[in-house]
Amino acid sequence: MAMIGLLEVFVAFLFFLVFKHFFLHKKSPGQPILKSWPVLGMLPGMLPHIPRIFDWTFEVLEATNLTFFFKGPWFSGTDMLFTADPRNIHHILSLNFGNYPKGPEFKKIFDVLGDGILSADLELWEDLRKSNHAIFHHPDFLKLSASSNTIKLKEGLVPFLDNAAHENIVIDLQDVFKRFMFDTSSISLTGYDPMSLSTEMPEVEYGEATETGEEAIYYRHFKPVFLWRLQNWLGIGLERKMKSSLVTVNRMFAKIISTRREEISRGEGEQLMDALTYYINVDTTKYKLLKPSNDTFIRDVAFSLLLAGRDTTSSVLTWFFWLLSKHPHVLTKIRQEINTKFNPTYLEKLVYLHAALYETMRLYPPVPFNHKSPLKSDVLPSGHKVKAESKIVICIYALGRMRSVWGEDALDFKPERWISESGELKHEPSYKFMAFNAGPRACLGKHLALQQMKIVAVELIQNYDFKFTEGHKIEAVPSIVLRIKNGLSVTVTKKM
Ligand code: HEM
């Protein structure tokens, strides 16, 4: 009884704090709240902003000179240092890379990735990185990747858009890009063609499963580990969906891996150049920590690669076409450039298109946050002390919008900022433009992704006009990948 009484008093006290915070605390207009409460820490100030965390971190970081320490509720393990300071980013991701792995907390939150490259650290990451680098630069892999783009453009995307134009139907452009990227990435990374982009628009179980997983992982960041693990075990809320999503993902990979192993045992693996086949046959004398005969390990490797390839590129293309609809003069300039300079074997000539894609990624980076956890205590260039094993969140989304980093027009969509006086693409250091990450863990698919996005952009801009549905609210889903909530509705017409 006494225990229940105590609990009631404690809950009443928490309610009082929240009530006082929302109704009695005077906020100065436009000022984000960072007040730290007893027991609850800064959580009450953050809670209402969790669905709009990207913009909130931008507002808070701009108001706090690019770095702030978030104090979570007592004993919840959710204390985090948020930073968008290029000096800190350079220090963490490059100069002192060895002291800043992703860390054990990251591995717990991203447990579904297993031992794939996106969650690995230290020696395992080194083996994965080197082997990944080798396959991503192999001419046969590059050929497979290029041919998957050409085929899916010709047999998937173009017929789909032609049909949508002919039937005058509303389509979700975001979904179309996700399907296109799923098919092309899956062919080059796993050798399997899911054929998800066709006029029939089949259900894509894998896509829905990964997106649910990405949202669940996002919310895990704000909960104590024991809580989301309990929810997962009991099958409650997003964690319940996460569990069934994982079954879907694992089923898909189990089928792909067993089919491939059978093909290889029949002697049919020689001509296959996809990443999955490469890892099944990987040289373990060179990469000692890789386990090619272990299906779980192969699943982890392939899953990380498919996530890295599919979700990012489709996100950029979606935000890019939406931004073009809001900035028709940019669209006109890209069209002029394509008409005067386009050469399919030399996409580098399309400097303005490249600049517009970079500008999209500056404002809407597909991976909005990056996590790090120091092995040893350290002092960051901003003067903030970080303890060993504490959590650091690099806010890539906020970084791209900082006036102190990008100038007073930081919030404007201006591809021109990327073009030098001599008409070339301007280089910005990766600790300032961090969409592809920075330092030794920089994105390995950057070149492939840019090629692919340019090919799709040229095809669509040359041949189609898109009309965006009026009144469609554009906002980002709270997730670990920046996607538009409810997609991007358009009608399409074919240019004569
Ligand atoms: C516009 C498209 C893309 C963007 C913006 C992007 C961005 C990123 C970012 C921010 C990271 C760091 C993730 C982290 O450490 O948590 C990363 C890592 C990585 N990306 Fe990309 N990526 C893109 C496309 C691709 C593609 C098409 C591939 C190829 C399949 C790819 C392969 C990888 C790999 C293998 C890593 C892990 C690197 C490592 O940890 O050493 N990415 N990417």
215-266 per-position pLDDT tens digit: 999 999 888 899 999 999 999 999 999 999 999 999 999 999 999 999 998 8
219 occurs within a structural domain? yes
Using a 10 angstrom Cβ sphere, with 0-12 exposed, 13-18 middle and 19 or more buried, the burial of residue 241 is middle
- What spacing in Å lies between the alpha carbon of 265 and ligand 1's midpoint? 32
**pLDDT tens digit string along 429-457?**
999 999 999 999 999 999 999 999 999 99
**Order of strands, edge to edge, in the sheet holding 171-172?**
171-172, 489-494, 464-468
ipTM: 0.98
What does the buried/exposed string (b/e) look like for 470-492 if buried means 16 or more CB atoms within 10 Å of the residue's CB?
eeeeeebbbbbbbbbeebbbbbb
State the closest ligand 1 atom to the C-alpha of 437, by its place in the atom list counted from 1.
10
Mean pLDDT across the stretch 472-482?
92
- Give yes or no for residue 101 CB within 6 A of ligand 1: no
The reply to whether 443 sits in an annotated binding site is yes
Q: Is the pLDDT at 89 greater than 90, yes or no?
A: yes
User: How does residue 460 score in pLDDT terms, banded at 50, 70 and 90?
Assistant: very high
Question: Does the C-beta of 367 come closer than 6 Å to ligand 1?
Answer: yes
**pTM listed for this prediction:** 0.91
Confidence band, pLDDT 50/70/90 cuts, at residue 14: low
Write the CATH number for 376: 1.10.630.10
C-alpha span between 68 and 144 (Å, rounded): 45
Q: Is residue 16 part of a domain?
A: no
Pocket lining: 472 vs ligand 1, CB cutoff 6 Å:
no
- 303 Cβ partners below 8 Å, 6+ apart? 112, 113, 114, 116, 249, 253
Q: How many CB atoms lie within 10 A of CB 151?
A: 14
Residue 28 inside a domain? The answer is no
Residues of the chain above pLDDT 70, percent: 93
Q: What pLDDT was estimated at residue 44?
A: 87
Sheet holding 369-372, edge to edge: 67-70, 80-83, 392-395, 369-372
| Per-residue model confidence (pLDDT) at position 331 | 97
The pair of three-digit structure tokens given for residue 314, joined into one six-digit string: 């489709």
Element at 172 (helix H, strand E): strand 171-172
At residue 164, the pLDDT reads: 97
Predicted pLDDT of residue 489 = 95
Q: Is the pLDDT of residue 307 over 60?
A: yes
In a domain, 17, yes or no: no
Q: Which residue has the tokens 């956890």?
A: 373
**pLDDT tens-place string over residues 116-164:** 999 999 999 999 999 999 999 999 999 999 999 999 999 999 999 999 9
Average pLDDT over residues 94-107: 95
Which amino acid is it at 38? P
Cβ 366 under 6 angstroms from ligand 1: yes
Q: Are strands 67-70 and 80-83 parallel, antiparallel or unpaired?
A: antiparallel
Give the distance (Å) from ligand 1 centre to CA of residue 169: 34
Mutate-to-test residue for ligand 1 from 437, 455, 482, highest number of ligand atoms within 8 A of CB? 437
Dihedral sign, CA of 165, 168, 172, 178? negative
Measured by CA distance, the residue closest to atom 42 of ligand 1 is 445
Q: Is the CB of 448 under 6 A from ligand 1?
A: yes
Q: How many domains does the chain have?
A: 1
**CA separation for the pair 71, 63 (Å, rounded):** 17
In a domain, 455, yes or no: yes
In which band, very low, low, confident or very high, does the pLDDT at 471 lie, cut at 50, 70 and 90?
Answer: confident
Is 458 close to ligand 1, i.e. is its CB under 6 Å away? Answer: no
**Mean pLDDT taken over the chain:** 91
Give the range of the structural domain holding residue 280, as residue numbers without chain letter: 47-486
What is the distance between the alpha carbons of residues 76 and 266, in angstroms, rounded to a whole number?
53
For residue 395, give both structure tokens: 């806010």
* Ligand 1 centroid to residue 147 C-alpha, Å: 21
- Distance (Å) from CA 476 to ligand 1 centroid: 20
* 224 within some domain: yes
Q: Which residue has the higher pLDDT, 9 or 99?
A: 99
Residue 33 binned pLDDT confidence (cut-offs 50, 70, 90)? low
Q: Is residue 192 in some structural domain?
A: yes
Question: Which pLDDT belongs to residue 335?
Answer: 95
The answer to whether the CB of 418 is under 6 A from ligand 1 is no
In a domain, 37, yes or no: no
